[in-house]
Structure 1
Amino acid sequence: MNIEGIFSDETNEYVSIQSLKNRQNIRIQIRIFKDDKPDIILVNHQDNSEVVMSKLHSSEYFDFYYADLEDRDYLKYYFKIIDGERTLFFTRFGVTDYLKEDALFEYNKGFTLPDWAKGALMYQIFIVRFNRGDETNDVVDDEYIYIGLPVKHKENWDEYPSNFDVGYFYGGDLAGVLQKLDYLKDFGVEVIYFNPLFVSPSNHKYDTQDYDYIDPHIGVIVEDADGVLGEDDTDNKNATKYVKRVTCKKNLEASNELFIRLVEEAHKRNIKVIIDGVFNHCGSFNKWMDKEGIYKRAEDKYPECAYWSKESEFRPYFNFIGNEYDGWWGHDTLPKLYYENSKKLIDEVLGIAKKWVSPPFNVDGWRLDVAADLGYSHEFNHRFWAMFRSAVKSANKNAVILAEHYGDPSFWLDGKCWDGVMNYDGFMEPVSWFLAGLEKHSDRADMNLKGNSDAFFLMLNNALGKMPYDCALVSMIQLSNHDHSRFLPKTNGIVGRINTHKSEDASSGVKLEVMRQAIMMQVTLPGAPTVYYGDEVGVCGFTDPDSRRTYPWGHENLELLEYHRYMNRWHKVRKELKTGSLIKLISAAGAVCYARVLKDNVSVIVINTGEYAKKIDIPLYLTGMRDNAIISRVIYTNGTGYNVGRVTYENDNGYLNMEIEPHSGYLLVSENL
């Protein structure tokens, strides 16, 4: 039996609704190689009931079997394939001789995801390092103290981040993003994902101070004040300028208005906007806590805060023990929010969730920071995110909800909580190991995994097996981000961070040919390819904080940028690269080949990490392409550069014979079938 020919997934090609006179049926299909005649059984995992599948139709190479089931809200299922005395199982993971119960298929009638997010090309902006558009809102030297040290403004935009970077500000802001929207549009961006934008004392802004307003330091300062800290100041009692800037309602409202304008301008360019929500914890500067006394000294009136009064309406928002409170991972700068203790807190955060996806802000979705950590129990966490989803979708049914998550996300991808995740396990990790032999922080190397095609597919299939395919399609797939190493430095094989290496080491001996392979994989594997600002022009950097370098305006690698644009254009015009099925074609020493297939549209991707050229026979028949059909190479990259000339090939008896160069990548697309 041709095991490689067995295939099904959760796309509309294999799961569909059949409308009959008085009812609807769910039709589930699977394909089998045409010469094989096994018994195929669809198994309902919930009650172990079985349905013998029947042949529906045939193609040149395959027979398609189906079973019609009475429509229902939910079904978890798998296929049992009996060939004589041999029984095989087919799940999301593929074919196994045992039942892989963490990779079962699901039909979830009420779980719908926004079509615009499936495979959308996203662009992540760490706001303070992208572009400086307004110098009047810059944090100034000694404006306030954060984590025991006075903050500093960095005048030199090109200066590398230091090991303790959190209080250093380069001046990137919303005005700077507005100036670059046309650049983003030309690059092919369909969605901007912003790291946190709300009022916050840190440059990363994952310690929210006020969820209702954009930080004036990246927005607009209408009214300012004198009063920075002196040499003898050890706290923020004299931080008059900071107090004025972040508590004055005129500044806050003006900053929100600028954000509204930015979203409007993005939407005019058909670019969606996703913002970061940090709801597991807030910051010690937060107006509910106010440990620093910022709001006690504000001219505008604010309610009494939890740190200063046991009678404060906000006291139940936090887990106080005496005068101390619980901080996330023990950090007193990050007070953990105590939802189980306060319905008012729950209602307030759900109101915030709705506010930003509604007019006049009209944000298109949320990315949720450390989402699995929220609350004090697994059960409450799920209940909260179910409430969050209901609130967001009631305000904007097309908004997307994506969560930061490591490990198995299936608990939350049940149609009640999240739409997708930052898919570290299903992209960043397997690609980093396969192409570079390093894990995502560059803290560890394993050269046994570099070029290990079997390990790559094993990691990929394990991760994708734990989520519905539509969830995978909307999930962010990244080479780099603000928490991990930039990808380009991984190509030099250096293990470590800036506490063990010089910043300059990150760019030493990097291999652009490997970066180009990574970009090709990013825009062709399932998910929403999410480019971390500057990756497209060769920005380097070890893991956080070095990965948060500024965008090098005027010093870009324009050749890499142009290659990325070409790849983005193919990703946009080939719909199978957004929503098509993923089919493994070849796993060979140092090389992988896979296809994305949507009806008659086929893209084939070949990546060779080896030092030598090799000949391969690509089994095009697994994509459904008929004999003599034409497939064209539209872009390829190798050790010296890349080429966008079109070269055509013919499907010869189901195969394409190619010689692939060392350190190369190929994108081939079907012309006719």
Structure 2
Amino acid sequence: MSINKFAVYHKAKSNFAYLTTDNKVHIKIKCAKNDADNVYLIFGDKYEWHKKQKIKMKKISTDNEFDYYGIKVFIDSKRLSYYFEIEKHHKIYSYTNFGFFDNIKQDEAYLFVFHFPYLHFEEKNNTPTWVKNAIFYQIFPERFEIGNPEYKDYVNAKWEEKPKYNSFHGGDLRGIINRLDYLKELGITALYFTPIFKAPSNHKYDTIDYMEIDPHFGTKKDFKELIKKAHSFGIKIILDAVFNHTGDKFFAFQDILKNQENSKYKDWYYIKKFPIDLEYLEKKRKEKGWKDWYIDEKTGKNILPYETFAHTQHMPKLNLFNKDAKEYILNAVKYWTKEFNIDGWRLDVADEVPQSFWKEFRKVVRDINKDAYIVGEIWSNSENWLNGDQFDAVMNYGVTYLCTQYFAENRINSIEFLEGINSLLMKYQEQTNFSMLNLLDSHDTARFLNKCNFNEEKHLLALTFIMTYIGAPMIYYGTEIGMDGEHDPDCRKGMIWNKNKWNMKYYNYIKRLIRIRKENIELQEGEFIPHFNKKLLSFERIYKNNKILVIINNSKKEIRYKLENNYTQELITNKIIKKEIILQPYQAAILK
């Protein structure tokens, strides 16, 4: 039986062939699962093809459909050409840039092999080295802490009240400053804030002024003080920015409403037609009884005369192909990156913004701060944004989804979970995987405890995975004390500061997990080696000659696990382990 040729895949200069941080080229190829006996790489300089080499590739990963083979190579001339030989039942299948060939004439091979034409080391994907060692903590500033308790006329809800979409509870930057000691003690090394720029809403994703701190939160002086104190504690600061759209109170859009077709800003947005009469449209919506903003319930069409984020009339979509609009935004980026010494950007609705803009954005940011972290909000496959010319990472909702299926909902078993994880890892470059922002929940989702139907043990197992997996783990504020919450706005409750109301089991366990990750480089920089076992979830993190084994029992049954002799200590409990470990239902172990 021949190989499944339709399953074989490789693409040059992609996540299947890229420069690693040590200036080697990582070559990967995908085959149908259990289909190949061996895979070989034939490679050399296209101008000296007679000196080509043949090397056996290693099976580096597998998922529910495919096996992945990989090898890292370097060639002194910096020109790399190659093809593959796939062996099955002692027969060789040659796979090239133009498909399969039965017989390759080696003197013509350079015409149809894959090419990495020249190894420009300056163009490799350089992600900030500090990210893989970071512990992130996400803060929704309006709900974290009130630092300035004086009367605020915009506040319309008590701190402990259940939040509504339009409620204001009074959180501010001074509150964050006052709680940096708490975050340092917890072990946090990086903070990501939802937007703090001037905007009318509590969430601030409807920007009015990109050059000003929202007065609800404080002043630029407060923000500088926050950054200075955070940096003194070794804590990085990541700002959230919304460049896909503005709020409708933004000066350029207001000028359009005033001057209509005569506005000099009309090309800053995607205007479908003039005039724009929002009062008339609102009146029409109410007359029709349309529930979903300006969606005609008969036709399903949005009747707004301009494009928006989703169907939200208060968030008109920016046209960043317009030179002046683009220049305005990039100047704001320069200002905050340089003047306030921030450590990176989280980018809202990143997949709806032109990729050409993100390439310019990256250059602007990195010219100011070569170690700035750039992370996009993209909920789906993000390969096109993660090749080193746009983002360092994305919010890893793929991992969130798998954790929800496995830990919270028991919809998949441990083998299916690890196959899903492997599939995600193979989509991206190695340095990208170590920079991904891994999360269980955020301001845009229900809290994971709610997804677990309030099963605390299962939630803590998922947190154990996030804290021991490749990439940067992120905690959503209040998770460490057991806060719950359904979807927005319930997931945005005021942080609980009364320790009598804290779940100390959560606090002590998460603090312990953070400490374990920070004290063991294997968990920060080690290779991820999954062990496929239906009864439990287990994997190793290997760094040089050091190993850590993570075992998670996501079941109601006690499980005995036999150990290799080199694992002697369980890090969560600090117990000495010998030949076997007994895992109780919903218990995890981290062994060294």
Q: TM-score band, normalised by the shorter chain?
A: 0.7 to 0.9
Secondary structure of the equivalent of 2:267?
A: helix
Task: Measure the CA separation in 1 of the matches of 2:452 and 2:191.
Answer: 27
Counterpart for residue 403 of structure 1? 376
Task: Measure the CA separation in 2 of the matches of 1:159 and 1:71.
Answer: 66
Task: Measure the CA separation in 2 of the matches of 1:16 and 1:354.
Answer: 27
Deviation at 1:200, TM superposition (A): 0.6
Cα displacement string for residues 226-259 of structure 1 (whole angstroms, at most 9, x for unaligned residues): xxxxxxxxxxxxxxxxxxxxxxxxxxxxx11211
Task: Measure the CA separation in 1 of the matches of 2:224 and 2:328.
Answer: 21
Counterpart for residue 555 of structure 2? 610
Q: What does 1:196-275 correspond to in 2, within 5 Å?
A: 196-219=195-218, 255-275=219-239
Q: 1:583 and 2:562 equivalent? A: no
Deviation at 1:489, TM superposition (A): 1.3
Count of matched residue pairs: 497
Deviation at 1:279, TM superposition (A): 0.3
Task: Measure the CA separation in 2 of the matches of 1:16 and 1:29.
Answer: 16
Counterpart for residue 322 of structure 1? 274
User: What is the letter of the counterpart of residue 437 of structure 2?
Assistant: M
User: What is the letter of the counterpart of residue 205 of structure 1?
Assistant: K
Task: Percent identity, please.
Answer: 31
User: What is the letter of the counterpart of residue 571 of structure 2?
Assistant: V
Task: Measure the CA separation in 1 of the matches of 2:212 and 2:132.
Answer: 30
Counterpart for residue 188 of structure 1? 187
Task: Measure the CA separation in 1 of the matches of 2:251 and 2:577.
Answer: 63
Q: 1:528 and 2:542 equivalent? A: no
Counterpart for residue 343 of structure 1? 323
Counterpart for residue 634 of structure 1? 571
Counterpart for residue 420 of structure 2? 459
TM-score, length of structure 1 as denominator length: 0.69
Counterpart for residue 106 of structure 2? none
Task: Measure the CA separation in 2 of the matches of 1:185 and 1:544.
Answer: 28
Deviation at 1:401, TM superposition (A): 0.5
Cα displacement string for residues 439-470 of structure 1 (whole angstroms, at most 9, x for unaligned residues): xxxxxxxx532xx1122112212222111121
Q: 1:308 and 2:258 equivalent? A: yes
Secondary structure of the equivalent of 1:474?
A: coil
Unaligned runs of 5+ in 2: 1-14, 30-36, 59-69, 95-118, 277-305
Residues 184 and 233, structure 2, Cα contact 8 Å, conserved in 1:
yes
Deviation at 1:421, TM superposition (A): 0.2
Structure 1 residue corresponding to 2:363, chosen from 382, 390, 411: 390
TM-score, length of structure 2 as denominator length: 0.78
User: What is the letter of the counterpart of residue 422 of structure 1?
Assistant: M
Residues 119 and 578, structure 1, Cα contact 8 Å, conserved in 2:
yes
Q: 1:358 and 2:338 equivalent? A: yes
User: What is the letter of the counterpart of residue 665 of structure 1?
Assistant: A
Residues 278 and 368, structure 1, Cα contact 8 Å, conserved in 2:
yes
Q: 1:433 and 2:405 equivalent? A: yes
The change in CA–CA distance for 1:88 and 1:580 in structure 2 (over 3 A counts) is farther
Residues 28 and 68, structure 1, Cα contact 8 Å, conserved in 2:
no
Task: Measure the CA separation in 2 of the matches of 1:257 and 1:479.
Answer: 33
Cα displacement string for residues 81-115 of structure 1 (whole angstroms, at most 9, x for unaligned residues): 647537899xxxxxxxxxxxxxxxxx984221111
Counterpart for residue 574 of structure 1? 520
Task: Measure the CA separation in 2 of the matches of 1:477 and 1:70.
Answer: 37
User: What is the letter of the counterpart of residue 554 of structure 2?
Assistant: T
Deviation at 1:54, TM superposition (A): 7.0
Q: What does 1:144-155 correspond to in 2, within 5 Å?
A: 153-155=156-158
Cα displacement string for residues 143-180 of structure 1 (whole angstroms, at most 9, x for unaligned residues): xxxxxxxxx5112x111123xx1x21001110000000
Aligned-CA RMSD value: 3.2
User: What is the letter of the counterpart of residue 161 of structure 1?
Assistant: P
User: What is the letter of the counterpart of residue 53 of structure 1?
Assistant: I
Unaligned runs of 5+ in 1: 1-9, 19-24, 31-37, 57-63, 90-106, 141-151, 220-254, 291-304, 375-380, 438-446, 493-509, 621-627, 636-643, 651-656
The change in CA–CA distance for 1:262 and 1:569 in structure 2 (over 3 A counts) is same
Counterpart for residue 123 of structure 1? 137
Deviation at 1:606, TM superposition (A): 0.6
The change in CA–CA distance for 1:577 and 1:217 in structure 2 (over 3 A counts) is same
Deviation at 1:80, TM superposition (A): 5.8
Residues 317 and 345, structure 1, Cα contact 8 Å, conserved in 2:
yes
